[in-house]
Amino acid sequence: MIEFRNVEKIYSNGVKALSSASFKIENGEFVFVVGESGAGKSTILKLLLKEIDPTSGDIIVAGQNLRDMEERDIPYYRRGLGVVFQDFRLLSDRDVYDNVAFAMEIVEAPRKEIRRRVPMVLAMVGLSSKAKCYPNELSGGEQQRVSMARALVNRPSILIADEPSGNLDPATADGIMEIVEMANRRGTTVIMATHAKDIVDTMAKRVITLKNGVIVRDEEKGGYFNED
Amino acid sequence: MKIRTWHSFFKQGIKSAFGNKTMSVASIVAITAALCVLGVVMLVVLNLNYLMDDLESKSEVTVFLEKDVELSDIKGIEAKIKNWDGVNEVEFVSKSSALESWKEDLDDKAYLLDGYEGAENPLPHSFVIGIEKPEYTEDIASKAETLPQVMKVNYSKEVAESLGKVVHTVRLIGFVIVLILAVIAAIIIHNTVRLTVYSRRREIKIMKYIGATDWYIRWPFIIEGFTIGMTGSLIAIVIIMPLYKYVLNKLAGQHLEEGFFVNIFKLLPLGDVVNTILLVFILVGVSVGVIGSVMSIRKHLKV
């Protein structure tokens, strides 16, 4: 379970990115975080990754208050999270297989396990035939699938996605969403920041709407609202 | 961490140590240059220390007697000196034997002293007091000065003392030069590794998001710095050792020609300095390399 309690974030340049944000996300939930650019979506994700710390308030993930987490425990905490970015962030000098295997090597998974799981995950995202390709030989959608595979290969309990379909055309984006939904059906909690109105509206999941750093709406089976 | 992980750390670290040719060469040259200077300073200091020890072990006090001293007085003085603490032996050097040894020193110009024998001999009688330990020297010298019939007391302490000052100065200047060079070398290595860190900053960021520990990220860069430092040290050793051997041989050649050198400038043999130099070079080279690289990663680990 993830819980934000009165979380406030003011950046060092004085920008108030988030104010008194409170919400709970149960295990296995699928939540969209929507809002305009600068509304505070990315701040929520960064706080969850403990890339930044809140100015005040508490964030509790799986019973642990992130505020009390020691610096050296952050890597182990992050191993329970899968992260996907809008810009894919693949390593251009490694092929698809190695980009995915990389995530397992970092956590020092047994080699046998790597050889077993990487092909499995690549099959899941539909890229078995492209294992030997390099990122620049792939389309945007394919690259994002590689990054999905990398995020999921260590079986995270939470998947954090920052506009994963932001750079993709609608049809390709749907393919990515299918993978996310599949992971969610297998029990992974999904938190996705997005601009994609179509996706949010058709999937009818929980939607947290942010405006100027304030949660203005939090609805089960919500939609993407335009204020104006 | 697993052996497999270490294997990949070393592969990565060594690969990037020699990856960027210009910067790698610059770093290695910087370390080598710093260590060569350090080596020269060390060898000078080591040899001065050695010379000082040698002088101290030979410490002696020479007591020159008044010209009109009687033979009976000489016996009395010798007996007194022999009773003092710290006195090893007392050798009487008569004015005629002093003249003889001076003549020997002058060798083929000994004729210059012709006519000074016997009653014309201007030299005084003297005692050479061998001292057990150098710390007794001053005490014995001052006691000797209070004896009757003593004209002048000479002792090697002054030589040892001024040599001590030289050693101290050389050490200080050397230390400052070496420190400055080491800092320069560290900065150059810091920049080299920073280039690698910079070119891999995306990878580092991704690693951080996936949950790599800081040490997992740090090690390849440390190994890169280590490799650069180690290479620089080895090159410095290969330069300094034969150089010292050359100097030794050169001086050994002079020993034969001028007896003077045999006694005063006895240099430490290569075997006595090789371990110290090896140890210091590798230690300094490697730590400068590692410190330089640790500095470069620090900033990028904050994700």
How would you write the pLDDT of chain B (303 residues) with one tens digit per residue?
778 888 888 888 888 888 777 778 888 888 888 888 888 888 888 887 787 777 666 677 888 888 888 878 888 888 888 888 888 888 888 888 888 888 887 777 788 888 888 778 888 888 888 877 666 777 888 888 888 888 888 876 666 667 677 777 877 887 788 788 778 878 877 887 788 788 788 888 888 898 899 888 889 888 988 998 899 999 999 999 999 988 888 776 665 555 444 445 567 888 888 888 899 889 988 988 888 888 888 877 776
Which of A51, A91, A108 is opposite residue B303, by nearest beta carbon? Answer: A51
* Cross-chain Cβ contact B208/A75 below 8 Å: yes
- Do residues B280 and B42 touch, judged by C-beta distance below 8 A? yes
Decide: helix, strand or coil at residue B104: helix
In chain A the beta strands, taken as DSSP E runs, fall at: 2-10, 16-25, 30-34, 56-61, 64-65, 81-84, 158-162, 189-194, 206-211, 214-219
To the nearest whole angstrom, how far is the Cα of B191 from the nearest Cα of chain A?
Answer: 23
Mutate to test the interface with B, among A47, A77, A78 (most CBs of B within 10 A): A78
**Complex prediction ipTM:** 0.85
What pTM was estimated for this model as a whole?
Answer: 0.69
Which of B1, B202, B205 is opposite residue A108, by nearest beta carbon? Answer: B1
Mutate to test the interface with B, among A102, A105, A112 (most CBs of B within 10 A): A105
Report how far apart the first and last C-alpha atoms of chain B are (Å, whole number).
22
Which chain B residue is nearest to residue A93, measuring alpha carbons?
A: B203
* Cross-chain Cβ contact B211/A111 below 8 Å: no
Convert the pLDDT of each residue in A50-85 to its tens digit. Answer: 999 999 999 999 999 999 999 889 999 999 999 998
The residues pairing with A82 across neighbouring beta strands, listed in sequence order, are A159
Asked if B6 reaches chain A (Cβ–Cβ under 8 Å), the answer is no
Beta strand A64-65 pairing with B126-131:
unpaired
Amino acid identity of residue A188, one-letter, is T
Mutate to test the interface with A, among B6, B11, B209, B217 (most CBs of A within 10 A): B209
Amino acid identity of residue B88, one-letter, is N
Which chain B residue is nearest to residue A52, measuring alpha carbons?
A: B303
Judge residue A58's burial from the number of C-beta atoms within 10 Å of its C-beta, 0-12 exposed, 13-18 middle, 19 or more buried: middle
Q: What are phi and psi of B84, to 5 degrees?
A: -70, 150
